[in-house]
Structure 1
Amino acid sequence: MAHAGGKCADLSNPRDTSSCARGDAEILDMLDALPPGTVDAVVAGHTHQTMGHFFGDVPVIETTGQARSLGVVELYVDPERRRVIPGRTRIQAAIPLCAKVDAASGTCDGRRLKEQPEVRLVPASFMGAQVTPDAQVAPLLVSALELAREAQHRPVGLVAPVPLARGYTAEGALGNLVADVLRASAQADVGVMNPGGIRADLPAGALTFGQVFEALPFDNTLAVVTLTGTELTRLMALAHANDRGSVFAVSGLELTLNRCPGPQRLQTVTLTGGTPLASERLYRVALPDFLARGGDGLGPVTDSLPPERVDLAPVKGLDLREALLAYGKAQGGTLNAPALGRVRYMGVAECPQKER
């Protein structure tokens, strides 16, 4: 069982892996690296995408998360050899776990149901039994759910004049804002934010804690690494050397990227205004501790740094939500949208399709 996953678009045939993306499928990279026979089955996670397939003889399951579905793997064991019989293994992927599902599609996934012209809900079943809320468990959850509702709707004293979009495969106003928050909070030269660390947009208007939490749900602390200009350039190259096409948010920097994802996507990196990075000068870079620990593929740079150049809690363990709230209050309670233009592109307008 691993907090690493992948994504397979088609669950109809567990032996057909042609719909499974390999670009950032950490769980498949792990399986490729293990000797055959090391594991009998894998329960994956992290990506919140569905999987229910055999890779070699190893069944791998993953669901979309939030307890909306379950995957089932049935393993048959030879009683004499005490080994799994791979040919008899069965997978049932992403079985909906709701009290009701749509009669036609069999799903309770709100995102999918929104796209359907008509929805007719019927009682759901799981492994042949009707799904019903547990009468003893439900009352136990009431007080916890009420506390959560109170926290969700609690005003934080900040206003966003316009919606702040997070971006992912493009520069976004919210990403730029968070990068600015990191840089200002640590009084650093540069701020860097990974797009996967921001999970929702912020709407216009008075903000609640629930909206801030949805945007920044992880308890990452603000960290600072001190890098030479050469190391900072390499950090940005690693950040964009993936097949997902994700774009990191930056503050104090300007990036030029190849429009198409790939290992050589980063073309140039300068300070704001186009000033080149000095190769041997040291720059203080504020970023989430997830990145400072080598997350999102940055380990080749961060893992090689001496301990004195990595500070995982420079501001008393301030997490990203607290940093955003403090920054907004210092700005008079208004979260203005930073201008776009920190990331520029070059290259072809349409990227070639990669073979599966």
Structure 2
Amino acid sequence: MKLSYYLLCFFLVFTSCKKTKTDLTKITAKTIAIDSTITSAAAIDSMVAPYKEKLAAEMQEILSYTAKDLVKNDGDMQSSLGNLMADMTFDMANPIFKEITNKSIDFALFNYGGIRATIPKGNITKASAFKLMPFENELVVVELTGKKINELIHYFIKNKKAHPLSKSISLIINDNKYDLKIHGDTFDETKNYTVLTSDYLQSGGDKMVFFKDPVKLTKLDYKVRDAIIHYLKKVDTIQTTIDNRVILK
């Protein structure tokens, strides 16, 4: 009797510990829409509200004024907005670069696609600056050989876009040939030149691979957007136009 009892207990323990094979037979999913009908927590709303109000007020701060719409497509391989962007960043970055290196920047180059908005006629607010440059890109200066500058100019010609170039450049394009002056001096391929750009482009963004592996890289720890805002704050009325920095023949 005892033996039968022990055998029964052993059988029950063995069968209770045995793993049962399971198979996945069905997966179901449910979409929960998140929209204005979902009520947010009142406590969170009240906590966030002052910061939202402060941010909204800051974005409406008037920095400068423009008598006309500034756009990136009103010229051939240059534009009023592109010229302004290159000149603004050049003017704000050059003193910083001088303080670090005791040298001056030769010119600035950015990309057409980096201009993300227009600046409409009238008061220019801080919100306009954020729309123009919504990214956290920072300004850097690269020292390039004359050979790399030649690659840069050929990229500019082949790309056929109004990439922002600073006013220190005088570029005459005739088919695939060019005549280049920098600060009034004829380009010398045996010399090195310093070019202001963004860290994104310096890493090869927008296929600007000529910026990679420079002779020297100087990081300014200065956001492109901050340079724009600081320039706009110090200039009452913006003056920019299509000029002779790029001439097509």
Instruction: Name 2:86's counterpart in structure 1.
Output: 179
Distance apart, 1:279 and its partner CA: 0.6
The aligned residue for residue 66 of structure 1 is: none
Q: Taking structure 1 as reference, are residues 218 and 132 closer, same or farther at Cα in structure 2, changes over 3 Å only? A: closer
Q: Is the 8 A contact 1:240 1:247 kept in 2?
A: no
Q: 1:337 aligns with which of 236, 240, 249?
A: 240
TM-score relative to the length of structure 2? 0.68
Structure 1 counterpart of 2:58? 151
CA contact (8 A) 2:106 2:183 kept: no
Q: How has the CA–CA distance of structure 1 residues 238 and 312 changed in structure 2, closer, same or farther, with 3 Å as cutoff? A: farther
- The counterpart of 2:213, out of the listed 294, 304, 323, is 304
Please point out which of 205, 224, 228 is paired with 1:324: 228
Which one of the candidate residues 204, 208, 213 is aligned to 2:121? 204
- 2:169 matched to which residue of 1? 253
Alignment of 1:1-356 (within 5 A): 132-137=35-40, 143=49, 145-156=52-63, 158-167=64-73, 170-187=77-94, 188-242=105-159, 245-251=160-166, 252-257=168-173, 267-271=177-181, 275-299=185-209, 301-306=210-215, 309-313=216-220, 317-331=221-235, 333-346=236-249
Contact 1:292–1:312, Cα closer than 8 Å, also in 2 = no
Q: Tell me which of the two structures has the higher relative contact order, counting C-alpha pairs closer than 8 angstroms and 6 or more residues apart.
A: 2
CA distance in 1, matches of 2:81, 2:148: 26
Among the aligned pairs, what percent are the same residue? 25
Please identify the structure whose Cα radius of gyration is greater. Answer: 2
Letter in 1 for 2:71: A
SS in 1 for 2:244: coil
Q: Residues 253 and 288 of structure 1: is their aligned pair in 2 closer, same or farther, counting only changes over 3 Å?
A: same
Instruction: Kindly provide the amino acid, as one letter, of the partner of residue 224 in structure 2.
Output: L
Q: Matches of 2:53 and 2:138 in 1, distance apart?
A: 27
Where structure 2 has 5 or more consecutive residues not aligned to the other structure, the ranges are: 1-23, 25-29, 95-104
Check whether the contact 1:240–1:248 (CA below 8 A) recurs between aligned residues.
no
How many residues align? The count is: 205
Amino acid at match of 1:287: T
Q: CA deviation at 1:175?
A: 0.7
TM-score, with structure 1 as normaliser: 0.50
Q: Write 1 or 2 for the structure with the bigger share of helix.
A: 2
CA distance in 2, matches of 1:278, 1:230: 10
